[in-house]
Amino acid sequence: MTLFNRAKTVMPFILILFAGAVMIFSSSKNAQSDTTSTPAEVKTAVFAAGCFWCIEKDYEKHDGVVKAVSGYAGGTIENPTYQNHEGYVEAIKVFYDPRKLSYKDLLEIYWSNVDPLDARGQFCDKGNAYKSAIFYGDESEQKLAEQSLKKVAKLLDTDDIATTIHEATTFYDAEDYHQDYYKKNSNKYEFYRWRCGRDSRLKELWGDKALKRLDIF
């Protein structure tokens, strides 16, 4: 075989190898680009503030909250339902982007949407299932929750804060018809919220900070 013919035979293989290298390099660049644009790991936090329909909406309107799921927290029986969740409180699990919101931010949002002086429940809903509570996931969250409670007590000039703080246990999602109730049944939801006097009581407590966030940190 002449040198020329050998070169003709080898050249296609060289071109294939070169094309393959270009594709690998391009894929590597794309993979690096995808990595840099991937959101930070979503974190979760659990709060109880009376009717879970309401506090779900109150959190989901904030940038950085991916979603809020209505459910039951703080009890011991397995698989609670709306008909049987004795020992649980209505609560939400907040999924949030820590690049946009910190746990401190979530606490400031929480206090502006709760009546911490009501030991019997929240607004027109009374009973253990409607009591306000913060469920911490680790020691850092516990310390921040306790600090925030002390700051709220000072702000209201009282030692009688009814909101309690607990270590988080298993959170159970509520039934599908409870999820995003304020979107699926907006008229019924708005009437319920108005009739319950939730917003008027919050404004009475927090003024222009109500339904937004308290500057306590």
Active site amino acids: 51
Helix (H) / strand (E) element for 114: namely none
| CA–CA gap between residue 47 and residue 170 (Å, rounded) | 13
Specify whether the CB–CB gap between 174 and 70 falls below 8 A.
Answer: yes
- Amino acid in position 27: S
Instruction: Report CA-CA distances (Å) from 59 to 64, 90, 95.
Output: 10, 15, 10
3 state SS of 178? helix
